[in-house]
Structure 1
Amino acid sequence: MEGIVSLLILLAFLGGGMMCAKSTFAPKPKGVTCIIAVILRILLLFMGIRIGRLGMNIREVQTIGLLGLVFGSATIFGTVLFLIILNGLSGGNESKHKRGRSESRRPSAKRLLWESLGLFAFVIVGIVAGKILPFASLIPNEAGTWTLYCLLFFIGMQMMQSDIKFVSLLRDRRMLLLPLVTALGSICGGIMVSPLFHLSVGEAAALSAGFGWYSLSGVLISDLGNPLLGSAAFLVNLVRESLALFMIPLLGGLGLPHLAIGVGGATSMDVTLPLVETSCGAGYVPLSIAHGALLSLLVPFLVPFFWGFA
């Protein structure tokens, strides 16, 4: 129920921005783009601060760090592999949606990599601040939440200013197919590396079924009786989200928007949504939201289901 309520709140802010897009006080499209860029960096900073305040000791990090890194990478690998297969079966036609930047103006891969590194630098600065600055402990976790709400408000505004045809998008089978393939690839990726850590198929599938939603899957597994794997699940999804920060601009710039959306997992409807919008175009925002929303709804069901086979 909590996940559904959170989803409704996110959609409310997105819808509020859409309704305000045509009002007299709405910024021009270029102004909205600048505002989104600033808010995104603030959000990444808050995310880093939250990580820095976790306070895990060296022994705990050594125990679960490798597991989180390998499984997080494996879920990304499985997603990319399955979506490449899907793209091949569909004839290699990525999309006919309206793109946010023309082919001739597409930035080079080198520039996109530097953009990704620049964004990730805000996370690193936040982690350091969360560990060493006394006032960082005074920043409530809700600060990041409200920053995300503001971000979605302006993304909704940008969607309306981009004149997206929502009716035609609702007829697109990818609205359902893309998240299902992402889920299947993520889970299979985790199962493939499970022998490295002597985990059962059920445990591996449960660890992989968070789809980047680290604030929920880790709590679910801890409550199901294994706090150690619960901490690992947190890191698995944190690693996935961090890798997505690098990969989304690169994949979007290379003309692979479905892969860019897929690597973000459940975060494609919120945290990584701005990266999808700027890298792939505003026309992919509805698909990205639908992708993340469906995966988010699956997490509270799939994690306990797979854990039952552990």
Structure 2
Amino acid sequence: MLTGALLILAPLFMGFALPLKNRRLMTTIHYLVEALVYFILALLGLGLGQMEGLVNQLGTMAGQVSALVVVLFVANMAGLWLLHRHWPMVPEPRDVSSGGVGYLRLFMAALKPLLAVLVGLLAGYYLLPVIPQAEQLATWSLMLLLFLIGLQLRNAGLSLRKLLMNTQGLGIAVVLALSSLLAGALLIPVLGLPWNDVLALASGFGWYSLSGIVIGDALGPAWGGVAFLNDVFREIIALAIIPLVIGSRPAMAIGYGGATAMDFTLPVIRSNGGLSCVPVAIASGFLLSFLSPVLMGIFLALG
């Protein structure tokens, strides 16, 4: 397991160590990352579709996903509410002249990962024979993805020092991480896994393409599917609640999105919370994007 943890973490830090200044190359990397994400998710679905007794396990998986989503939501929002109480953050008034963002478009985009997994699942269940190298292919694809994401993070014009000095973003990231681990601890008797595996499940922070494959490699395709669904539902729920709460409790709106606050949910945060929320969201999402593979790698290595 320790070797597996190093394989998860090494490409991310290798990519982050390499500076790039070629904009055309960075654009190519952006599209390659997007393609790899959907390819990895399709492989995750393929593994689920070829799992023995899939139909019989669907009810159990639904219960496990529901438990994770609900307990994590309650713990995260409670922790972020306490942060807001002791360290309030006041957003700018909403910029109505900007026209907002296309919420329908964002919700449809949030469903694309589910569609990719569903396509892989149906292909594995009905069409494709078992591919012995599928797990290795998924692992190598994930390593390449993490390397490219490391490059993106390093070359996004973000200073790690400035991000760490954004105390509000750092506070939100720490509270989200700690409350997620607390939720994981509460779920240990419910999920029936060793404590370290449950804490790994709780450490996805919305990064579904990472958690699905990493957990799937370590615990099997069923748990990989549970990890994926838990984190993709975080993204979907975040899109729904950000406009409702960011005006009065920005930390709760930014924090619940987890790692997605620096990319996918950022337009909604910007549109509803104003420019003052953007650096906080980027700092929080960036730090959680680094914490997620680190924590998952550490917890799985303890098994």
The verdict on a shared fold, with TM-score over 0.5 as the criterion, is yes
For 1:125-180, what per-residue CA distance to the aligned partner results, in whole angstroms no more than 9, with x for missing partners? 333334444389366212343244334434543x12xxx45433222334653343
Q: Does 2:81 match 1:90?
A: no
- 1:143 and 2:141 matched: yes
CA distance in 2, matches of 1:241, 1:116: 11
Change (3 A) 1:119 1:294: closer
Q: For residues 147 and 299 of structure 2, what CA distance do their matches in structure 1 show? A: 27
Q: Distance in 1 between matches of 2:20 and 2:301?
A: 40
Distance 1:154 1:219 in 2: 25
Q: How far did residue 6 of structure 1 move? A: 2.9
Q: Which residue of 279, 291, 300 maps to 1:294?
A: 291
SS of match in other structure, 2:24: coil
Cα distance change of structure 1 residues 45 and 85 upon mapping to structure 2, 3 Å threshold:
farther
167, 177, 190: which is aligned to 1:183?
A: 177
Partner of 1:153: 151
Alignment of 1:275 onto 2:264: yes
Query: 1:49 — aligned with what?
Result: 43
1:120/1:232 CA distance change after superposition, 3 Å? closer
Residues 234 and 58 (structure 1 numbering): CA distance in 2 closer, same or farther, change over 3 Å?
Answer: closer
The reply to whether residue 39 of structure 1 matches residue 28 of structure 2 is no
Task: Provide the rounded CA distance (Å) in 2 between the counterparts of 1:71 and 1:7.
Answer: 28
Number of aligned residues: 273
Aligned to 1:27: 24
SS of structure 2 residue aligned to 1:106: coil
Report the identity percentage: 14
Alignment-derived partner of residue 115 in structure 2: 121
Q: Secondary structure at the match of 1:64?
A: helix
Q: RMSD of aligned C-alpha atoms?
A: 4.4
Give 5+ residue unaligned stretches, structure 1.
96-100, 223-229
Corresponding residue for 2:273? Answer: none
| Residue 106 of structure 1: aligned partner | 100
Q: Aligned AA for 1:73?
A: V
Counterpart Cα distance in 1 of 2:71 and 2:91:
21
Corresponding residue for residue 227 of structure 2? 237
Q: 2:72 aligns with which of 76, 86, 92?
A: 76
Deviations 1:4-54 (A, max 9, x none): 5532421322343xx212x4xx229xx83x863663254124213223223
The reply to whether residue 207 of structure 1 matches residue 198 of structure 2 is yes
Amino acid at match of 1:104: S
Q: Output the TM-score relative to the length of structure 1.
A: 0.64
Alignment correspondent of 1:7: 9
Correspondence for 1:98:
none
Q: 3-state DSSP class of the match of 2:264?
A: helix
* Paired residue type of 2:264: L
Q: Which has the higher mean CA deviation after the structures are superposed, 202-211 or 168-177? A: 202-211
Unmatched segments (≥5 aa) in structure 2: 205-210, 271-277
Q: What amino acid maps onto 2:79 in structure 1? A: F
Question: Bigger shift: 82-91 or 134-143?
Answer: 134-143
C-alpha contact 1:76 1:263 (8 A) present in aligned 2: no
Tell whether the 8 Å contact from 1:13 to 1:149 is kept in structure 2 after alignment: yes
